[in-house]
Each structure stands twice: as C-alpha cells, then as structure tokens.
Amino acid sequence: MGVLAYCVSLLAITGVFALGIVREIRKIFKSLDGKDPFIMENVKSLNRMGLFSFGTALLYAVKICLLNSFFTIVILMIFIIAGFFSIILAEVFRQAVEVKMENDYTI
C-alpha cells in the first residue's frame, strides 16, 4: 500500500507542477499578443518553468529508487532536458531584454 500511496502522491504533485508550467506558458503567450516578448516577466516565467521541470525530475528520480520502469526513466530525462532548456532560454531572453533596453535608451 505504501508504493501505491507514493505513486498517487507523485501524480498529484507532478500535476501541480504541470499546471504551474502551463500557467507560465500562458503568461508568455499573453506577452506575445502584446508584441513585446522581451520583458523580464518572461525571463522569470522561463526560470519558474525550469524549476517546475527540475522538481518533477527530482520526484521521478526518487520513484526510480522505489519502483523502477523504463517509462519513469524516459519521463525523468524529458524533464531534465526541459529544465535545462528553460533555464538556458531564460538566460537568452535576459540578454535580449538588456540589449532591447540599451537600444531603447540610445534614441
């Protein structure tokens, strides 16, 4: 019963992380509608998405120790890659925001 309770808890917590990722994606899409994607809020959203992805990866890494399966390993790798991608993209956006602000002040 302990493993079943852990799996249900894992799904609930990772579901909350997934909802957090969806919320951040929606925020980014709203800024795209405003024709201004290079803002610091998008950088923060991408960093949060990275943290949510790493949190999900951590939970699945613990699950590998308790109940290993091929699917769990695949999910773990997907979320690790997504976390790194989000963090790297956040840094690119941060640099773009700095360049944009610099260009806005020159003229």
Domain ranges, ordered by start, for the chain = 2-106
Mean pLDDT, to the nearest integer, of 65-84? 92
pTM of the model: 0.87
HSE-CB of 42 using CA atoms within 13 angstroms: 23
Tell me the CA distances in angstroms from 81 to 21, 39, 45, 89, one per residue in order.
14, 24, 17, 12
| Identity of the amino acid at 24 | E
Give 61's contacts (C-beta < 8 A, 6+ positions apart).
76
- The answer to whether the beta carbons of residues 78 and 67 sit under 8 Å apart is no
**107: pLDDT confidence band, cut at 50, 70 and 90?**
low
